[in-house]
Amino acid sequence: MRKPIIAGNWKMFKTRDEALFFILKVSEKMPEKEKVDTVVFAQAPLLRCLITRQGEELRIGAQNIFYEDEGAYTGEISGPLLESYNVEYVLIGHSERRQYFHETDEDVNKKIKAAIRNDLLPIVCVGEKLEERENNLTNDVLERQIKNAFKDIPAIEMKDIVIAYEPIWAIGTGKTASAEQADEACGFIRSQIKKLYGPVVSEGIRIQYGGSVKPANIEELISKENIDGALIGGASLDPDQFIEMANAPLKIKKFIK
């Protein structure tokens, strides 16, 4: 049984006071870490103050990492700095990073290597645009992104990596892939990992779904065979909604020992 992982991506939202209010409200209401991994990805300046208040169950993650450990790269954030803050998770390859900052599959690959080098656990995002889905190119896009993202990543490192399937057409649009569409895509991702790394790795790796996930649809989504959790955007900004979604796996039969 794969342990579910529920993550919230705050993107460029929340001031320090708003973030602290959120953490103080939710940290004692997260499910036990032995049963569900819960993560909140916050803006870099918030990391230090949130990590000191994250509690026993919740973990605070970074939204980005640069692929070099140091150097003249103004505005970037390094792996050694994140490690020194006791950050555990880092988000890599989010569609907004690809769209607005022109990150390539090769950049994603280098960032995964930087995360591993600095003992950080990557959540690696993949997903297709609307026109790619409409032209039946979803699997082609996912195959390319996975092959390039994990180039030269050894199997021993893959066991802790999480993949987030986030169809770009469902992010921030209110549109959600149906549970069947999401499960089909996550199943295809798993099949590609099997091709690259074999059945042991593919059956163990956790795959999230991201794209307009909210309390009303999370249980249906994560109950599917190949979906092991959710990467949540807008709905994760509300503490009450995040508490509800973080605890949703406790109601799902496949996650109950």
Residue 130 belongs to domain spanning: 5-251
94 is catalytic: yes
Q: Is 10 annotated as a binding residue?
A: yes
Q: Are 98 and 139 in contact (CB under 8 A)?
A: no
103 is catalytic: no
Q: Is position 66 within any domain? A: yes
The one-letter amino acid code at 216 reads A
Q: What is the DSSP string of 27-40?
A: GGGSPPTTT-EEEE
pLDDT of residue 170: 83
Q: Report the predicted TM-score, pTM, of the whole model to 2 decimal places.
A: 0.96
Please state the domain count of the chain. Answer: 1
List b or e across 172-199, with b for residues whose CB sees 16 or more CB atoms inside 10 angstroms.
Answer: eeeebbebebbbbbbbbbbbbbeebbee
Q: Is 11 annotated as a binding residue?
A: yes
Q: Which residues on neighbouring strands pair with residue 162, listed in sequence order?
A: 123, 206
Q: Is position 219 within any domain? A: yes
Catalytic residue among 94, 96, 103, 128: 94
Q: Is position 192 within any domain? A: yes
Q: Is position 256 within any domain? A: no
Q: What is the DSSP string of 62-102?
A: ES---SSSSSS-TT---HHHHHHTT--EEEES-HHHHHHS-
Handedness of CA 63, 65, 66, 72 (dihedral sign): positive
Q: Is 191 annotated as a binding residue?
A: no
pLDDT of residue 176: 74
pLDDT of residue 177: 84
Q: Is position 257 within any domain? A: no
For residue 164, give the CATH number of its domain: 3.20.20.70
Mean pLDDT for each 10-residue chunk of the chain (257 residues)?
96 98 97 97 97 96 98 98 97 95 97 98 96 94 98 96 93 82 97 97 97 95 98 97 98 91
